[in-house]
Amino acid sequence: MGRGALLLLLLSLVAAAAAAGEVEQRPALPSQSTGGASSSSASSTGVSSNSVLVALLDSHYTELAELVEKALLLQTLEDAVGRGNVTIFAPRNEALERDLDPEFRRFLLEPRNLRSLQTLLLFHVLPSRLHASSLPTAGEAQPHHRTTLAGEPLALADAAVTRPDAVVRPDGVIHGVDRLLVPRSVQEAFNRRRSLAAISAVLPTGAPEVDPRTHRLKKPAPPVLPGAPPVLPVWDAMAPGPSIAPAPAPGPGSGKHHFDGHSQVKDFIQTLLLYGGSADILVNLTSLATEMGRLVSEGYVLTVLAPNDEAMARLTTDQLSEPGSPENILYYHMVPEYQTEESMYNAVRRFGKVRYDTLRLPHKVTAREADGSVKFGHGEGSAYLFDPDIYTDGRISVQGIDAVLFPPQEDAAAGGGASPAAAPARKAPAVTGKTAKPNKLRRGKWR
pLDDT digits (tens, 9 = 90+) for 309-333: 888 888 888 877 777 778 888 889 9
**Short-list 278, 243, 240, CA closest to 360:** 243
Residues 133-141, mean pLDDT to the nearest whole number: 69
CA 60, CA 421: separation in Å to the nearest integer?
A: 80
**Short-list 171, 125, 172, CA closest to 148:** 125
- Identify residue 404 by its one-letter amino acid code: V
Least confident range from 20-29, 99-108, 182-191, 377-386: namely 20-29
Confidence of residue 305 (pLDDT cuts 50, 70, 90): very high
- Identify residue 51 by its one-letter amino acid code: S
**Domain 261-401, CATH class in plain words:** mainly beta
Averaged pLDDT score across all residues of the chain: 74
Q: What is the pTM (predicted TM-score) of this model?
A: 0.42
- Any idea how long the chain is? 447
Residues 34-44, mean pLDDT to the nearest whole number: 37
Phi, then psi, of 224 in degrees rounded to 5: -90, 120
Q: Which of 92-101, 261-270, 289-298, 341-350 has the highest mean pLDDT?
A: 341-350
Report whether 273 contacts 245 (CB < 8 A). no
77 vs 422 pLDDT, higher one: 77
CATH fold of 52-197 reads: FAS1 domain (2.30.180)
265 vs 39 pLDDT, higher one: 265
Check whether 142 has a pLDDT greater than 70. Answer: no
Give domain limits for the chain: 52-197, 261-401
Q: C-alpha angle 73/46/59, rounded to 5°?
A: 55
Find all residues with CB under 8 Å of 364, minimum gap 6, and list them. 355, 356, 357, 358
Handedness of CA 425, 430, 433, 436 (dihedral sign): negative
Residues 377-396, mean pLDDT to the nearest whole number: 87
User: Do 52-197 and 261-401 show the same overall fold?
Assistant: yes
